[in-house]
Amino acid sequence: MRTKIEETEKVSHFFEGWEETLIWSCLQKVMGAVYADSAEAPTAALAVLGDFCFLAGEPNEELVRCDSLGAHKEFVLLVPQSEAWGKLIEACYGERAKKTVRYALKKEPDVFDREKLWKAVNALPEGYTLRMIDEELFERCRQEQWSADLTGLFPDYETYREGGLGAVVLKGDELVSGASSYSRYLGGIEIEIDTKEEYRRKGLAYSCGAKLILECLERNLYPSWDAQNLWSVALAEKLGYHFSHEYTTYVILNARSDSRS
């Protein structure tokens, strides 16, 4: 039976060596939750934060069927620790499981060139302004689908003010791009970066991403970056990160999504 684990040190060994800050957030009890197949003698564990579910230990079907934890979402992302977990995901979900690839960037605290980052901030095209996310902008991020993930995992502004951090680009009064903390862990944040479709490829994400990294460095926070696609990898590398490796992720559409497609 899937059991929520409060004493996360009991299952932390299952995730040993997995350099994923969303897992750290769960194990550190900053955000998210950890589950196991047993509270007394666990053989497998599941870390859940936002859209992501990380599966570790011995493959276990009850933990694989974690899409119910995101029943209100259109999809969840299952990240298997091993090929055996991946095969179990495919067996459980069939055509609902879309196998994809994500891209990990190295975590190198001393890699950033502050002068270059300030140049990126100052390269913001004419007609646009850059602002840090305050209470007003926090709420505005939640009003449109493209920007919802910039602040979506924080229940309210006070929680975001204490643990989150972000910068946005505006054209006039219109919110058009942003870089913010998708999540928080002890020692850093996981970056979420989004731009409204009609404003992409104008250098906006480059400028607000650079600003967020600089703000993190000022606060002794590490700005972790994990890429959904090669465009995100290229942007990260432009800002100073280095590519680490690809890893498998399964996109699981929930039944509500299937009925509409």
**pLDDT > 70? residue 153:** yes
Between CA 97 and CA 76 the distance in angstroms is 10
6-11 average pLDDT score: 97
Closest of 155, 161, 154, 153 to residue 135, by C-alpha: 161
Token readout for 233 is 């990898």
The band of 90, judged by pLDDT with boundaries at 50, 70 and 90, is: very high
Query: Which residues are registered as beta bridge partners of 168?
Result: 131, 178
The model carries a pTM of 0.94
Residue 125: band (very low, low, confident or very high) from pLDDT cuts 50, 70, 90: very high
- Dihedral, CA of residue 26, residue 27, residue 30 and residue 34, to nearest 10: 40
Is the pLDDT confidence value at 73 over 80?
no
Q: What average pLDDT does range 220-228 have in this prediction?
A: 98
pLDDT-derived band at 71, boundaries 50, 70, 90: low
Mean pLDDT score across all residues of the chain = 95
List Cα–Cα distances, 25 to 118, 183, 193, in angstroms: 29, 8, 19
- With 50 as the cut, is the pLDDT of residue 256 above it? no
* pLDDT number for residue 255: 52
Stated as kind and residue range, the H or E segment containing 253 is strand 243-253
| pLDDT(258) > 60 | no
Has residue 181 got a pLDDT over 70? yes
Residue 260 predicted with pLDDT over 50: no
Q: How far apart are CA 146 and CA 153, in angstroms?
A: 14
Of 4-8, 50-54, 256-260, give the lowest mean pLDDT range: 256-260
Percentage of the chain with pLDDT > 90?
92
Q: Is the pLDDT of residue 254 over 80?
A: no
